[in-house]
Structure 1
Amino acid sequence: MVAHVIPGNADKRFADPLYSRIAELIYREAGIVLGPEKVSMMNARLNKRIVTNGCADLAEYVRRLDGGELPSEHDFLVSALTTNFTHFFREGHHFDFLRQVVFQEPFVTVRSAQIWSAGCSSGQEPYSAAITAQQAGCRATITATDIDQTILAQASAATYRESELSGVSPELVNLGFARTPAGYQVTRKIREMVTFQHLNLHAAWPFDTKFDVIFCRNVIIYFDAAAQMRLWEKFCRQLRPGGWLFIGHSESIPDHLRDRLRPVRHTIYQYIPA
């Protein structure tokens, strides 16, 4: 059988052309690179889509995708193969910086801090930012986006199991959540700071404002080098002068951009226009 190359990464090859075709679709739709080391994960998640669509096996599923018989399936496929791992106040020093630095800036007294949570997953990141604003006595307008429509619906529901709040201090639980029969729901005051919307980072960005803070953490690592470079540049254009970009601990800013994205703390960069 002929090995197939994943787009954007010529060093990784699939032995099975069906998995190669799925990888091609995910790369085209979302810019995410899936390699052969992800086959077990892909297989487990694809099985659910195969059953849901009444297909006999992966071969039929791919054939029907390619034949246009499953016109709404691409979004569900992206959702199934997107990694959604997060928790409240993940990378706690980012929220300390929000409270101690960003929310102490003079502009916060005259307008809402404009924050974008890119790749917001099930909502813990933007709600953590909103709770931090509440804790600091500040206003924040938080735009939370993700490519996964299913996970966005979950985030909008704003209800979490008790286990999902493990590690959150009692003070912050009392500040941001109300106990309900279904678990813990983010309070209305916190929810009102956050707006969720569907967005593919590799499509056009619809924003007519520049942000004071952009969270994009543990997202860029899933893209190839060319896609990463385009996103770093676009983030620069989407930040106001002096704004901050928060990234994941496994990510780093390219050297040639460090005159514009200057490190101020670990995985926190400030945008200084050239």
Structure 2
Amino acid sequence: MTADISRSIRFRGIAFLTPIDHRKATRRLLLAYGVSLFLFALWPTLDLRVSALFHTEGAGFTLAAVPALHVLRETVWNLSIAMFALSLGALGLAAFGRAIPGFEARTAGFVFLLYLLGPILLVNGLLKRFWGRARPADITEFGGSREFTPPWLPADQCAANCSFVSGEGSAATALLLSLLVLAPALRGFLPPAAFRVYLGLAILLPAMGIALRVATGRHFLSDTVFAVLFVLTIALVLHRLLLTPRTP
């Protein structure tokens, strides 16, 4: 879906992205789910092996103590909060007939519902609250006291704010998609060089934010992979409902 959205930034309008082939996007998404489930089921220690790349015996996940990386993480998180707040404000303005050009009611509704249904309700409200998977830094393999459990099985190793799935990873994915949704409108206001920088940062910052959750021992690889997939699924449904032009 991300590739389809990226191609839409060739710009054929302000309020909507160019049409997405939802059937093709759905097939690709289902394939991604299948490959991910098969990979982590076939190789259950993959999460441990990836996390071990960033763990030092006796020192833990050392990247977690790097100030610059902490600033980067906070930047991505704050951008997500700002985007959610902006979408809510844009919806309010649209309700009073003062819609922001390029961020009209449907576009703002897409962004608002993407965050609400994904990171807020599904991820933090349900999965992280009840799945019970311990974070990498808390399991015995990396100096903690909890047991490692695979991503597809609910566990009892964590009581709250657990590892599966990544909350910040889901928010970063929502941020990336939101920034791409806004790209067609911004292209009309930004110089070409500035627009290319915008697109680069729109992809790079969220991607780095997701990677940092693994590198700092806060999440397993599978936590981030499925966080991305869940948000993409919600985005695909919302795009079909809100951002696809209707044929009379």
Band of TM-score, shorter chain: under 0.3
Structure with the higher fraction of residues in strand conformation? 1
- TM-score when normalising by structure 1: 0.25
Structure with the higher fraction of residues in helix conformation? 2
Query: Relative contact order, CA 8 A, sep 6+: which one is greater?
Result: 2
